Amino acid sequence: MKPLLLLGGGGHCHAAVDVIEAGTVYQIVGVVQPSVAGSAPVLGYPVVGTDDDLSALLAETPRALVTIGQIKSPATRIRLFELLKSHGAEIPVIKSPSSYCSPHAELGEGCILMHGALINANAHVGENCIVNSQALIEHDAEIGAHCHISTGSRVNGGVRIGTGCFIGSGAILREGIEVGNGAIIGAGQVVLQDVEAGKTVSNHRD
């Protein structure tokens, strides 16, 4: 099995660990955290260093995955992904054995497909994306880099989603619409028309 470092040890990391352990390709060797002092193991895997230690860590384990989650902003995931790229790291695509990705679809490096995710033919998913549990990306959809397609969401055929977007749990996007860069679609939203860049679509009331 191929050794793999994980960057970030929070909740999304826990889910990513479960996906990686379900497969037979990668073996987690440790977790990189902002601070090592007092850091407990993450689901049994040791915290092996901080971002400042990446050069030395990648010299021994040249393969790593960003396992920080994304809700309101993709900024931390983007920063860590670009940090790995600057060190020349190999950033694999991770697929749960219970996910399905059409052989006619394309996934950018650093993507993770969680349990039950489905990506259909001629879909294109950019680098460093999370396609979470039971999410659906239908035929001919285009997902920009650094997006999070949340649990149970439905991205229908021909939808175009820009860079750094968040699609909330259970959201449904009508076929053919466009979602601009940095948009946030709240949980359970049914989106029937284009969404401007940077806009939040939500029924939530503060």
Instruction: Report the C-alpha gap between 2 and 83 in whole angstroms.
Output: 21
Name every residue whose Cβ is closer than 8 Å to that of residue 45 and which is 6 or more positions away in sequence: 6, 17, 28, 29, 30, 31
Which is nearest to 157 in space by CA: 129, 184, 118, 127?
118
Tell me which residues are annotated as active site: 139
DSSP 158: T
Closest CA to 8 of 54, 53, 67: 67
Beta bridge partners of 168: none
Residue 148 known to bind ligand: yes
- Beta-bridge partners for 45: 42
Assess contact for 88 and 30: CB atoms under 8 A. no
Q: Is 146 annotated as a binding residue?
A: no
Two structure tokens written together for 171? 């959201």
Binding residues for substrate: 69
